[in-house]
Chain A
């Protein structure tokens, strides 16, 4: 290994003088789901060492946050994990609310739960489709994207955006959800269990699928904890750690759902966990639909932090002043630091935020699950065939935007 500032990238080899071969996989490789580069050290077809190289999508989001107001940062959080923008919105908003000490109305909390669970379904659908394509099962992709599209239409109907929703705001939601939106949600979630059955008929007992995923990419519970793995990756190794249960946020303690675990710790177990999680999410969405009151505030009452309604801004002088102040300089939370974690589709999405009492965050750090989970890749691949590397990358369910930020 050479020094940190050496002009060329250095790759250490595990075997020293052995006749091994170094193969560069990615960053332009269809199965790396973006711009992941893995340096593989091979002995024939056996992977001796896999070294992920990241940073190709680094956009300095954390630095950009420091020159934006708290509300403006929400748009950046969409772009961290672009397959689960609402989960990121939620993590950031909860952290800011904790910093300010803001209580969000129950109605907004339930709507947040409903939408983040739909996000979990869409995210797992993308994972399922792309992972299956990587392993040669083309058709699952076509089915899973069909359902994803229906949920994307709900996002568009509710927030005006399919992907970069920025729908959750500090203190509640951006807008009152449009009339009839719950009917659309009901149509999707009612058909969802049947669709999940369809994917399962294609994969669960498929002999090729079993051969490609069973006993591939084994991760023990001890290794998963030591490497900081979270989300389905950890639960498939038998650790029932789900932040929605352990540190409930946004009223998750009022919902009835089970934490899905498997003990095998291989790619197939992670497949089972994610499929089962989609079914649990459907359950949560259905409960949320019953809980959401048809009327009530969709954001907290906090003058100076939450923008006043249009009506109030036009008719009262305080409303006008607050509106002007919030949109020109933002609001200033009291100084302090918070760490807020949520269970994103990929695992523990943590937001560490430090305020110095100014309207812009002094420091925002995103503890993204993909970044940490990717560290397990070395463990998953070593001693396996090259073909299994594809299965292992797919099964960690990384989003490169989130890895590099």
Chain B
């Protein structure tokens, strides 16, 4: 059903050939490929994947955070990339500590990241450095806390 795994692996190999240091881990699970990166490598890797003519991951589908509280590193930010030309999906995963949840913004690579990053800032408190307009998106500006964090009760603070 998914694109053949060998194809996605070739994207991973191309990335490793370009910069072997950047890929911390590759997870193959349920027909999906996830590349785990450190924060420093996110922006250059994203730029490489989006612009490399043989890959062209020019479509950013989604950014979704998972809060692993109370484990550390606490946050996992997942970027769902899509290459329309190759019909492939790829997931980038960056782990962040709870004390310093800061990531470089990928807005300049994929303008669609604008609202995705604002959403993750709003609901998880991840700060995206270099985002042109990082403010809350679905909650009022004066809201306190970040509701999708695991230490935020479902019914809210009373």
Chain A residues near B (Cβ < 8 Å) = 1, 3-10, 12, 54-55, 58, 60, 62-64, 66-67, 98-99, 101, 225-228, 239, 241, 246-249, 336-339, 341, 348, 350, 352, 354, 362-363, 365, 367, 371-372, 374-375, 404-405
CB of B137 within 8 A of chain A? yes
In the complex, which residues of chain A have a beta carbon less than 8 angstroms from the beta carbon of B62? 339, 350, 352, 365, 367
Q: Hey, which chain A residues are within 8 Å of B67, CB to CB?
A: 363
Is A367 within 8 A of B61, CB to CB?
Answer: yes
B64 touches A372 (CB 8 A): no
A228→B59 CA distance, assembly (Å): 6
Scan B49-92; emit 1 where CB is below 8 A from any A CB, else 0: 00000000011111010110000000000101000100101010
Instruction: Determine whether the beta carbon of B58 is less than 8 Å from that of A225.
Output: yes
| A337–B141 touching, CB < 8 Å | no
Residue of A nearest to B142 (CB): A7
Instruction: Give the distance to chain B from A23, nearest Cβ to Cβ, in Å.
Output: 20
Q: Which of A1, A338, A352 contacts B135 (CB 8 A)?
A: A1
Contact between B64 and A352 (Cβ–Cβ < 8 Å)?
Answer: yes
B154 near A341 (CB under 8 angstroms)? no
Q: Is the CB of B80 within 8 A of A352?
A: yes
CB distance A9 to B141 under 8 Å?
yes
Determine whether the beta carbon of B137 is less than 8 Å from that of A367.
no
Residue of B nearest to A247 (CB): B2
Q: Using Cβ atoms and an 8 Å threshold, which residues of chain A touch B61?
A: 228, 339, 341, 348, 350, 367
Min C-beta distance of A392 to chain B, whole Å: 17
Q: If A99-B30, A338-B32, A367-B80 touch, does A225 touch B137 (CB 8 Å cutoff)?
A: no
Best-buried of B2, B29, B141 by chain A (most CB within 10 Å): B141
Ranked 4 nearest A-B pairs via Cβ? A228-B112, A55-B138, A367-B62, A365-B64
Q: Which residues on the B side are within 8 Å of A6 (C-beta)?
A: 141-142
Interface residue? B147 (CB, 8 A): yes
Q: Given A4-B121, A371-B115, A404 and B64 touching (CB < 8 A)?
A: no
Of all chain B residues, which has the CB nearest A362? B66
Interface centre among B34, B89, B135, B140 (most CB of A within 10 A): B135
Q: Which residues from A are CB-within-8-Å of B133? A: 1, 12
- CB within 8 A of A63: which of B1, B135, B154? B154
26 contacts between A and B (CB under 8 A): A4-B135, A4-B141, A5-B141, A5-B142, A6-B141, A54-B137, A55-B137, A55-B140, A63-B148, A66-B154, A98-B30, A98-B31, A225-B58, A227-B112, A228-B59, A228-B60, A228-B61, A239-B84, A337-B34, A338-B30, A339-B78, A339-B89, A350-B61, A350-B80, A352-B78, A372-B112
CA–CA, A9 to B62, complex, Å?
26
CB of B13 to closest CB in A, whole Å: 22
Q: Which residues of A contact B16 (CB under 8 A)?
A: none
CB nearest to B112 among chain A residues: A228
Say yes or no: A247 contacts B138, CB within 8 Å.
no
For B84, give its contact among A58, A63, A241, A372 (CB under 8 Å). A241
Contact assessment for A67 and B154 in the assembled complex, using a CB-CB cutoff below 8 Å? yes
- B interface, over-half SS: loop
Q: Shortest beta-carbon distance, A231 to chain B, in Å?
A: 13
**Which listed residue (A55, A62, A246) contacts B87, Cβ 8 A?**
A246
Neighbouring A residues of B139 by C-beta, 8 Å: 55, 58
With a CB–CB cut-off of 8 A, which chain B residues contact A249? 1
How far apart are the CA atoms of A362 and B1 in the complex, in Å?
Answer: 25
5 additional contacts (CB under 8 A) given A62-B123, A336-B30:
A55-B136, A101-B30, A225-B58, A337-B78, A375-B112
Chain B residues lying within 8 Å of A225, measured Cβ to Cβ, are 58-59, 84
Contacts of B43 in A (CB 8 A): none
With contacts A226-B110, A247-B1, A354-B66 taken as known, whether A54 is within 8 angstroms of B80 at the C-beta atoms is no
**CB contact under 8 A between A227 and B1, given known A6-B141, A12-B133, A363-B67:** no
Q: How far does the alpha carbon of A3 sit from the alpha carbon of B89 in the complex, in Å?
A: 35
Q: Hey, which chain A residues are within 8 Å of B123, CB to CB?
A: 62
Which residues of B, 93-112, contact A by the 8 Å Cβ criterion?
A: 110-112
On chain A, the residues within 8 Å of B115 by CB distance are 371-372, 374-375
- Complex Cα spacing A228 to B117, Å: 13
Is B15 interfacial (CB-CB < 8 Å)?
A: no
Inter-subunit contact A10/B135 (CB<8 Å): yes
Q: How far is the CA of A31 from the CA of B115 in the complex (A)?
A: 23
Knowing A62-B148, A248-B1, the reply to whether A339 touches B141 (Cβ < 8 A) is no
**B26 proximal to A (CB < 8 A):** no
Is A337 in contact with B111, judged by CB distance below 8 angstroms? no
Which chain A residue shows the least CB distance to B67? Answer: A363
Residues on A with C-beta less than 8 A from B25 are none
Question: In the assembled complex, which residues on chain B have CB atoms less than 8 Å from the CB atom of A367?
Answer: 61-62, 64, 80
Confirm or deny: B134 has a beta carbon within 8 angstroms of a beta carbon on chain A.
yes
Contacts of A63 in B (CB 8 A): 147-148, 154
| In the complex, B21 has a CB within 8 A of chain A | no
A64 to B152, CA, bound (A): 12
